[in-house]
Amino acid sequence: MGPVIEAQGLTHEYPDGTTAIRDVTLSIEEGERVAVASVLAFEPEVLLLDEPFGAVDAHYRERILQLVTDHEGTVVLFTPSLDVVPEIADRVIVVGPDGSLAANESVRDVLTDSTLLRENGLRPPAIVQLFEGILEADDMPLTVSDARAHLLDQTQ
């Protein structure tokens, strides 16, 4: 078995030392993990994912996020869930409702532009919504860990 499949806990080792993929019915979350892991096993240069976090709980979301962030090639991710974007993206492309290119900018520039996002049917990440109107876009934390660090700095 490949290390990607084994890392996802999808194998079973038999007493004789052989290993096989577990023979079970997969949940939706496990199905998502198997799909991502099976693609990553081929070590593609470009990984194209369509809403990989849509049907998974927080635990599996973190595992899929780890698989994606460990990928050494290019990742193209389609998602309306912008909270994960700062953790995995260098650049954001927003496609408008009519299919036109609405933005092709840095993560910060796109995620802190609430007008752009709302005009294109997207909601700013929760962290951005929390700090909107309090901090300037350049100072706004984009992740929970950045927000925590900012708040800790303010209390000292």
Ranges of each domain in the chain = 1-76, 80-156
Q: Specify the pLDDT at position 10.
A: 65
Nearest 5°: the CA angle 53, 55, 59 is: 65
pLDDT at position 20 is 66
Calculate mean pLDDT across residues 116-120: 95
Average pLDDT in the chain: 84
Q: Give residue-wise pLDDT tens across range 6-39.
A: 666 667 677 887 766 655 567 777 777 777 778 8
For residue 46, give the H/E element and its range. strand 46-50
Task: Give residue for tokens 């990989």.
Answer: 52
pLDDT at 88 over 80: yes
Residue 148: what pLDDT? 94
| 62 — pLDDT class (breaks 50, 70, 90) | confident
pTM: 0.71
Q: CA–CA separation, 62 vs 57, rounded Å?
A: 9
Q: How far apart are CA 133 and CA 130, in angstroms?
A: 9
Question: In terms of pLDDT, which residue wins out, 64 or 134?
Answer: 134
Per-residue pLDDT, averaged over 42-51, amounts to: 86
107, 86 Cβ separation under 8 angstroms: yes
